[in-house]
Amino acid sequence: MYMVLVLFGVSLLIFFLARVMPGDPARLALGPEATQEQVASLRHKLGLDRPLYTQYYVFLRGLFKGELGMSLITKRDVFKDLIQRLPATLELVMTAMLIAILGGIPLGVLSALHKDRTIDQISRIFAFAGVSFPRFWIGIMFQIAFAYILGLLPITGRISGDPPTRITGLYLLDSLIARDFPAFVDSFKHLLLPSLTLSLSPLAQITRITRANMIEQLRKDYSIVMRTIGMPEVVNIYKYMLKNAFTSTLTVIGLLTGWMIGNAFVIEQVFSWPGMARYGVNSVLRNDFNAVVGVTLVIAVGYVVINLIVDLLYGYLDPRIRLKR
Q: HSE (CB half, 13 Å, CA atoms) of 112?
A: 25
Q: Closer to other proteins by CB, 218 or 309: give it.
A: 218
Give the count of beta carbons closer than 10 Å to the beta carbon of residue 3: 12
Distance CA 57, CA 240 (A): 53
Shortest CB 324 distance to other proteins, Å: 10
Residue 66 CA, distance from chain mean position? 23
Shortest CB 306 distance to other proteins, Å: 22
Shortest CB 101 distance to other proteins, Å: 18
Q: Let me know: does 289 contact 225? Beta carbons within 8 Å.
A: no
Q: Closer to other proteins by CB, 27 or 227: give it.
A: 227
Q: Closer to other proteins by CB, 55 or 244: give it.
A: 244
Distance CA 218, CA 236 (A): 10
Which region holds residue 241: left if phi is over 0, alpha if psi is between -120 and 50, else beta?
A: alpha
Distance CA 26, CA 158 (A): 33
Shortest CB 220 distance to other proteins, Å: 7
Shortest CB 291 distance to other proteins, Å: 45
Q: Closer to other proteins by CB, 1 or 229: give it.
A: 229
Q: Which residues contact 165 (CB under 8 A, 6 or more apart)?
A: 174, 177, 178
Shortest CB 322 distance to other proteins, Å: 9
Q: Closer to other proteins by CB, 44 or 117: give it.
A: 117
Q: Closer to other proteins by CB, 32 or 230: give it.
A: 230
Q: Closer to other proteins by CB, 61 or 115: give it.
A: 115
Q: Closer to other proteins by CB, 39 or 215: give it.
A: 215
Shortest CB 84 distance to other proteins, Å: 40
Which residue in 246, 255, 253, 260 sits closest to 96, CA to CA?
A: 260
Q: Closer to other proteins by CB, 28 or 218: give it.
A: 218
Shortest CB 238 distance to other proteins, Å: 8
Residues that bind other proteins (CB under 8 A): 219-235, 238-240, 243-244, 247, 317-320, 323
Shortest CB 311 distance to other proteins, Å: 16
Helix-helix angle 242-270:289-317, to 10 degrees: 160
